[in-house]
Amino acid sequence: MSEELDLRGLKCPLPAMLARKYLATLPAGESIWVLASDPLAVVDIPHMCSQEGHAMIESKTAPDHHRFLIRRGPT
Protein backbone atom coordinates (compact mmCIF):
# COMPACT_ATOMS: atom_id res chain seq x y z
CA MET A 1 0.00 0.00 0.00
CA SER A 2 1.33 3.42 -0.96
CA GLU A 3 1.48 6.33 1.45
CA GLU A 4 -0.74 9.39 1.01
CA LEU A 5 0.39 12.99 0.93
CA ASP A 6 -2.75 15.07 1.55
CA LEU A 7 -2.31 18.54 0.05
CA ARG A 8 -6.00 19.39 -0.24
CA GLY A 9 -6.81 23.01 0.49
CA LEU A 10 -3.47 24.32 -0.78
CA LYS A 11 -3.30 26.56 -3.84
CA CYS A 12 -0.89 25.94 -6.70
CA PRO A 13 2.04 25.94 -6.96
CA LEU A 14 2.25 24.63 -3.37
CA PRO A 15 0.94 21.09 -4.05
CA ALA A 16 3.53 20.49 -6.79
CA MET A 17 6.34 22.06 -4.74
CA LEU A 18 5.54 20.03 -1.62
CA ALA A 19 5.08 16.82 -3.61
CA ARG A 20 8.51 17.40 -5.22
CA LYS A 21 10.08 17.95 -1.79
CA TYR A 22 8.44 14.83 -0.32
CA LEU A 23 9.35 12.62 -3.29
CA ALA A 24 13.00 13.63 -2.83
CA THR A 25 12.95 11.88 0.56
CA LEU A 26 11.73 8.56 -0.86
CA PRO A 27 13.93 5.81 -2.28
CA ALA A 28 13.86 5.35 -6.06
CA GLY A 29 10.91 3.21 -7.17
CA GLU A 30 8.77 4.02 -4.11
CA SER A 31 5.19 5.19 -4.85
CA ILE A 32 2.94 7.69 -3.13
CA TRP A 33 -0.60 8.97 -3.59
CA VAL A 34 -0.79 12.78 -3.74
CA LEU A 35 -4.18 14.37 -3.03
CA ALA A 36 -4.83 17.94 -4.18
CA SER A 37 -7.97 20.05 -4.48
CA ASP A 38 -6.64 22.96 -6.56
CA PRO A 39 -7.89 22.59 -10.17
CA LEU A 40 -4.46 23.57 -11.52
CA ALA A 41 -2.90 20.52 -9.86
CA VAL A 42 -3.97 18.42 -12.88
CA VAL A 43 -1.47 20.47 -14.90
CA ASP A 44 1.22 21.27 -12.31
CA ILE A 45 1.73 17.82 -10.75
CA PRO A 46 2.12 15.88 -14.03
CA HIS A 47 4.45 18.63 -15.27
CA MET A 48 6.55 18.35 -12.09
CA CYS A 49 6.75 14.56 -12.58
CA SER A 50 7.93 15.03 -16.15
CA GLN A 51 10.60 17.56 -15.13
CA GLU A 52 11.87 15.51 -12.20
CA GLY A 53 11.85 12.09 -13.90
CA HIS A 54 9.06 10.60 -11.79
CA ALA A 55 6.37 8.33 -13.27
CA MET A 56 2.71 9.31 -13.10
CA ILE A 57 1.14 5.87 -12.62
CA GLU A 58 -2.47 6.89 -12.16
CA SER A 59 -4.59 10.03 -11.99
CA LYS A 60 -8.14 10.02 -10.62
CA THR A 61 -10.67 12.80 -10.22
CA ALA A 62 -13.07 12.77 -7.26
CA PRO A 63 -15.86 15.31 -6.73
CA ASP A 64 -13.73 17.52 -4.47
CA HIS A 65 -10.11 16.61 -5.26
CA HIS A 66 -7.64 14.85 -7.54
CA ARG A 67 -5.53 11.80 -6.68
CA PHE A 68 -2.18 11.12 -8.33
CA LEU A 69 -0.17 7.93 -7.90
CA ILE A 70 3.47 8.84 -8.47
CA ARG A 71 6.49 6.54 -8.54
CA ARG A 72 9.77 8.21 -7.64
CA GLY A 73 12.28 8.23 -10.45
CA PRO A 74 15.93 7.19 -10.25
CA THR A 75 17.28 10.72 -9.67
Give the three-state DSSP class for 59.
Answer: strand
**Domain boundaries defined on the chain:** 3-68
Which CATH class name applies to 3-68? Answer: alpha beta
The tens digit of pLDDT for each residue in 15-46 reads 999 999 999 999 999 999 999 999 999 999 99
Size (the chain), residues: 75
pTM to 2 decimal places: 0.94
Catalytic-labelled residue, pool 10, 12, 14, 56: 12
Residue-level pLDDT at 1: 59
Residue-level pLDDT at 18: 98
Q: Is 49 a catalytic residue?
A: no
